[in-house]
Amino acid sequence: MSHWDLVILGIVIASNNFSVALALGTMGQWKRVARILIVFGGFEFFIPLFGAYLGQYFAQFVEAYASAIGGGLLIGLAIYVFYGTFISQPADREEWAQRTSTWWGLLGLAFGLSLDNMMVGLSLGFSDESPWLVATVIAMSSVVFSAIGLRFGTFLNQYFVFYSQLFSSLLLFFLGVATLLGWM
């Protein structure tokens, strides 16, 4: 695997984190940027390493359900953001955004987003590439893309609240469907 292949891998994997961070940014969660980046970056680092050391038996089980769990989580988040855009009151949206960006809420999001990365780690277990290097590239890409998503979402929320939440919900929904169908 060349250095460019690693960079492309990091960017592709970080796109999920960008989408979720964009949604969190549109919900006004820039104030929790450190927490979000620590959780997302930590999962993106350790999950591929964990996958690299899994056995073949467990790999088949995880592979069968990773897309369903990750896609379902993204679609669920999309539905909630969409619901909040049209139905809920601003106080309800803020309460949900705060619950989502607690340590436990972020751990759940990061876990769902990282399941497909376990498969990347599994494939690394059969290659000559250092799992530590790949995990580092993936984590760094995730942190950078999550920060960009949070910042851009915050900007959109300041000026285009309704449209930014609608855009985030649609983006998350299509990302969830793509994950379910195995396109991501």
Query: What is the pLDDT confidence band of residue 142, given thresholds at 50, 70 and 90?
Result: very high
Give per-residue pLDDT as tens, 58-87.
666 666 777 777 777 778 777 877 776 676
> What pLDDT was estimated at residue 124?
61
| DSSP letter, residue 55 | -
Percent of the chain residues past pLDDT 90, beyond the cut = 15
> Encoding tokens for residue 163?
């449209």
- What is the value of pTM for the model shown? 0.72
Higher pLDDT, 137 or 129: 137
> Encoding tokens for residue 112?
């769902």
151 neighbors 23 (Cβ within 8 angstroms): no
HSE (side-chain half, CA atoms, 13 Å) at 103: 1
Query: What is the pLDDT confidence band of residue 91, given thresholds at 50, 70 and 90?
Result: low
**Which of the residue ranges 11-15, 18-22, 85-89, 166-170 has the most confident prediction, judged by mean pLDDT?**
18-22
Q: Is 28 helix (H, G, I), strand (E, B) or coil?
A: coil
Query: What is the pLDDT confidence band of residue 38, given thresholds at 50, 70 and 90?
Result: very high
Mean pLDDT, range 112-126, rounded to an integer: 69
52 neighbors 124 (Cβ within 8 angstroms): yes
Who contacts 31 (Cβ-Cβ below 8 Å, separation ≥6)?
Answer: none
| DSSP letter, residue 30 | G
Q: Is 89 helix (H, G, I), strand (E, B) or coil?
A: coil
* Helix-then-strand count for the chain, H and E: 7, 0
Cβ-in-10-Å burial (0-12, 13-18, 19+) of 48 comes to: buried
**Pairwise CA distance, residues 164 & 23, whole Å:** 8
* Single-letter amino acid code for the residue at 125: G
**Pairwise CA distance, residues 55 & 63, whole Å:** 12
Q: Flag whether pLDDT at 92 surpasses 70.
A: no
Query: What is the pLDDT confidence band of residue 100, given thresholds at 50, 70 and 90?
Result: confident
